[in-house]
């Protein structure tokens, strides 16, 4: 087996020719020839230098079947988070047997991390991002981050943003993503399973459509279409999405100080600040400044990754009004708390342009402005000021909870009495 630890550290050097070379591969395969794509990747493109990661979830069997067709001895990584359903663990064994997979490698979290951060085993509940981080990101990263590429199970029909998913992609840091199932629809998956008589995940028949760790899947499975809501709740409800191991090896979580206050508690922020020079076409988990977005609109719209939008004072939100759905989060920047332009921006986004994603305040976010921000539709707060954090944690925000003026979407409807007035809705 390849010694991963010795893999060369890659240079971050996007190379135009290489990019063209990769892109040209995209025309070579029949849309449905996933196995052909996979074979090309593991034998020609990156022999010994590519990772296949599988969640052994409801749809994983299709890709794994292709792996078996190409080479049963290829390493397949499975994230043994310690939080899986017993059914999933049983399914791993079933598939190994059924497909003859000879090299399934379970990646376990570092026991000292678990002892340190999740001694009680309930971190997923309070801080799923960190839970995913120690149970998925870290173990996987340690093994595969030095590799030249990885194979994903992404399908272009999964979400609107993936409408342009190709077979081969080159990432900003010069690695290759391979998407053998790029052209598969859900119906194709079902047909494929049927055609080859592949065993289903035991929970699939019980109504689970998207299966990850046990504690988090139950939440996800309740919705009618789990993927439709995948990026919606972002930080809490949909575990594992930052680490989309069907997709990218994402590393959304920077140094984990819990600065994002949302849904009544501080959680790790999957977003990192936009840095001058970031590539709008490839950036992920960052808030693209509105002017940058406007200048690179096509690239951003084609960018398949979760992205946010940064609205600073002076920015005209109306210029992006048709594209707001593209962003899972919009950050309203308050460079100084005395600059109140963000309140108008927030109200326009929510009340006039119907933005429904996460709306967060960033910058000089302080105790005494938070209730105003909430009323203007802001739901999340990136807080650095310690006394403010403390007040939020302790639920001791000094606020006036009855209002004189109809502001925001939850305020009293027209014509009802008393005019102008309402009490605050419970705002976590």
Partner 1 sequence: MYRYDEFDAAFVQERTAQFSDQVARRLTGDLNEDQFRPLRLMNGLYLQLHAYMLRIAVPYGTMNARQMRMLAHIARTYDRGYGHFTTRQNIQFNWPKLRDVPRILADLASVEMHSIQTSGNCIRNITTDQFAGAAADEIIDPRPVAEILRQWSSLHPEFSYLPRKFKIAMTGATADRAAIRFHDIGLQATTSKLGEIGWQVWVGGGLGRTPMIGKMISGFVPHEHLLAYLESILRVYNRYGRRDNKFKARIKILVHEEGLDSIRQQVEEEFAHLKGGVLTLPQEELDRITRYFAQPDYELVNQTTVDVAREKIVNPPYGRWLERNLNAHRQPGYVSVTISLKPVGGAPGDATDTQMDAIADLAERYSANELRVSHEQNIVLPHVKVTDLPAVYAALVDQGLADGNAGQITDIICCPGLDFCALANARSIPLAQELTRKFQSPERQAEIGDLKIKISGCINACGHHHVGHIGILGVEKKGTELYQITVGGDATENAAIGDILGHGFVADAVPDAIERLVDTYIARRTSADEPFITAYRRLGKEPFKEALYGNA
Residues belonging to the active site = 239
34 vs 215, beta carbon nearer ligand SF4: 215
Residues 67-106 that bind ligand SF4 (CB under 6 A): 81, 83
- Which residues lie near partner 1 (CB under 8 A)? 313, 337-341, 343-345, 347, 352, 366-369, 371-373, 375-376, 387, 398-407, 411-415, 417-421
Among 136, 262, 360, 374, binds ligand SF4 (CB under 6 A): 136
Nearest distance from residue 248's CB to ligand SF4, in Å? 16
Tokens of 221: 């499975």
Among ligand SF4, partner 1, none, what binds residue 215 when CB lies within 5 to 8 Å by partner kind? ligand SF4
For residue 179, the number of C-alpha atoms closer than 13 Å in the C-beta half-sphere is 28
Question: Are the CB atoms for 355 and 382 separated by under 8 Å?
Answer: no
Among partner 1, ligand SF4, none, what binds residue 177 when CB lies within 5 to 8 Å by partner kind? none
Q: Sign of torsion, CA 30 31 34 39? A: positive
Angle between helices 60-70 and 186-196 (to 10 degrees): 50
Among ligand SF4, partner 1, none, what binds residue 401 when CB lies within 5 to 8 Å by partner kind? partner 1
Among ligand SF4, partner 1, none, what binds residue 402 when CB lies within 5 to 8 Å by partner kind? partner 1
Q: Candidates 7-15, 128-136, 314-322, 357-365 — which segment interacts with ligand SF4 by CB under 6 A?
A: 128-136
Judged by CB under 6 A, the number of residues near ligand SF4 is 14
Nearest distance from residue 317's CB to partner 1, in Å? 10
**CA angle, corner 269, sides to 268 and 274, nearest 5?**
155
**Among residues 154, 116, 124, 121, which one has the least CA distance to residue 249?**
154
Among ligand SF4, partner 1, none, what binds residue 413 when CB lies within 5 to 8 Å by partner kind? partner 1
305 vs 389, beta carbon nearer partner 1: 389
148 vs 215, beta carbon nearer ligand SF4: 215
Angle between helices 60-70 and 86-99 (to 10 degrees): 30
Residues 186-225 that bind ligand SF4 (CB under 6 A): 212-213, 215-216
Positions in the binding site for ligand SF4 (CB under 6 A): 81, 83, 124, 128, 131-132, 135-136, 212-213, 215-216, 239-240
């Amino acid at each position: 087996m390849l010694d991963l630890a010795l893999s060369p550290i890659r240079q971050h050097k996007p190379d135009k020719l290489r990019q063209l070379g990769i892109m040209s591969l995209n025309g070579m395969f029949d849309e449905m020839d996933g196995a052909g794509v996979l074979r090309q990747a593991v034998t020609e493109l990156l022999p010994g230098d590519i990772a296949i990661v599988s969640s052994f979830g409801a749809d994983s069997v299709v890709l794994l079947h292709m792996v078996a067709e190409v080479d049963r001895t290829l390493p397949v990584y499975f994230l043994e988070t310690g939080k899986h359903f017993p059914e999933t663990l049983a399914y791993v064994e079933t598939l190994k047997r059924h497909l003859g997979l000879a090299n399934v490698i379970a990646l376990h979290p570092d026991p000292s991390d678990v002892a340190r951060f999740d001694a009680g085993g309930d971190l997923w509940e309070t801080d799923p991002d960190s839970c995913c981080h120690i149970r998925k990101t870290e173990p996987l990263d340690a093994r595969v981050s030095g590799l030249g590429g990885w194979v994903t199970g992404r399908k272009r029909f999964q979400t609107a943003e993936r409408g342009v998913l190709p077979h081969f992609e080159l990432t900003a840091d010069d690695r290759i993503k391979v998407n053998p199932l790029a052209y598969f629809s859900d119906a194709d998956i079902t047909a494929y399973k049927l055609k080859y008589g592949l065993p289903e995940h035991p929970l699939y028949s019980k109504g689970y459509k998207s299966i990850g760790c046990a504690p988090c899947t139950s939440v996800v499975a309740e919705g009618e279409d789990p993927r439709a809501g995948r990026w919606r709740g972002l930080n809490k409800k949909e575990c594992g999405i930052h680490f989309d191991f069907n997709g990218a090896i994402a590393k959304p979580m920077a140094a984990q100080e819990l600065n994002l206050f949302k849904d009544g508690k501080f959680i790790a922020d999957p977003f990192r600040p936009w840095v001058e020079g970031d590539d709008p076409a490839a950036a992920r988990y960052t808030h693209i400044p509105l002017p940058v977005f406007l200048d690179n609109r096509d690239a951003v719209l084609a960018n398949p990754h979760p992205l946010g939008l940064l609205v600073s004072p002076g920015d005209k939100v109306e210029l992006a009004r048709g594209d707001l759905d593209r962003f899972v989060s919009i950050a309203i920047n308050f460079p100084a708390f005395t600059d109140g332009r963000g309140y108008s921006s927030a109200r326009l986004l929510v009340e006039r342009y119907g933005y429904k994603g996460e709306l967060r305040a960033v910058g000089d976010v302080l105790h005494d402005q938070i209730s105003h921000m909430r009323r203007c539709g802001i739901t999340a707060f990136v807080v650095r000021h310690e006394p403010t954090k403390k007040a939020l944690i302790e639920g001791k925000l000094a606020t006036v909870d009855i209002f004189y003026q109809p502001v925001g979407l939850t305020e009293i409807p027209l014509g009802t009495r008393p005019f102008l007035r309402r009490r605050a809705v419970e705002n976590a």
